[in-house]
Amino acid sequence: NAAAEDTLKMEVKLQQTHDKTPVVAHQAFLRFTHATEKTETYFVLTEKASVHSTQLQFAALSKKFGYNSGKHHVELILGASTFEKAIVWDLGNVQLQLGAAPPETPSPLYKKPLLHESDTTLKPLPEITHVMREQDPRPPVAVSMAFMGAVLAPLAFFVLFVARLGLNVKRLFEGSVFVFGSVFLASLGGILALFGLYWLELTMFRTLGYLSVLGSVNLWSGHLTLKRLAETPAKKTTKVE
């Protein structure tokens, strides 16, 4: 029998049978097997001067034994590379009277302080009302109309300037100029429509991509239109008396 305050000390020395030469085991263990629970507890024997030894204080080892008091079967296990197989030496049984397990303290629900009482009482949280951001106020209609007028003013001035020049637009649809003149006016209208789409929905990069195509067509057709107009003299009307 061994009580919790008892100590078990063991020393083992191995030697050859024929010449008594000391032998050092590479592994040396004490194995305690509980008779009922069949739980196994191992302790390592340390080697010093060819002697394997260990000292067990059961008062400090109650937790390692799992607080399982009662009958334990004790075995000494020795192993080395020179052994054909491990040596298992039956040391008999020992009745251990270990310390009792301490009462379990209930662990806290959370390690950090809680923000709401409902985290522990399971009460419903207070209702949270989400307030959406209010829409930014729009400027007065008069300001919007004035801004639109300022944007359209350059286009209006350009149209008035062209009208005052008295250009003969009909020449763009005569003879060989018809094809290039139509393409020129269509591409010019496409550019104006593209500016309107940019104002409404297009991004700058997409607008620049479309503008590069329309601008190239407009430049090419305008150049050929002016060239054909220069080669085709304007018709002059003469008054016959």
DSSP states of 189-240: HHHHHHHHHHHHT--HHHHHHHHHHHHHHHHHHHHHHHHHHHHSPPP-----
Residue 236 has a pLDDT of 46
In this structure, the dihedral spanned by the alpha carbons of residues 224, 227, 233 and 235, taken in order and rounded to 10 degrees, is 30
Q: What angle do CA 49, 93, 85 make, to 5 degrees?
A: 50
Residue 123 has a pLDDT of 67
Name the nearest CA neighbour of 75 among 42, 102, 100.
42
> What does the alpha-carbon distance between residue 7 and residue 59 come to, in Å, rounded to a whole number?
8
Residue 76 has a pLDDT of 92
Residue 92 and residue 35 in contact, taking contact as beta carbons nearer than 8 Å: no
Residue 2 and residue 92 in contact, taking contact as beta carbons nearer than 8 Å: no
- Report pLDDT digits (tens) over 164-178: 877 667 777 777 778
Residue 176 and residue 227 in contact, taking contact as beta carbons nearer than 8 Å: no
Residue 93 and residue 72 in contact, taking contact as beta carbons nearer than 8 Å: yes
DSSP type of residue 111: S
Residue 241 has a pLDDT of 41
- Report pLDDT digits (tens) over 42-87: 999 998 888 999 998 888 888 888 888 889 999 999 988 888 888 8
Residue 111 has a pLDDT of 56
Residue 180 and residue 228 in contact, taking contact as beta carbons nearer than 8 Å: yes
> What does the alpha-carbon distance between residue 180 and residue 226 come to, in Å, rounded to a whole number?
9
User: Which domains are delineated in the chain?
Assistant: 2-97 (2.60.40.1930), 141-231 (no CATH)
Residue with tokens 């302790």: 43
Taking 50 as the pLDDT cut, the residues of the chain under it are 236-241
Tell me if residue 158 falls in helix, strand or coil: helix
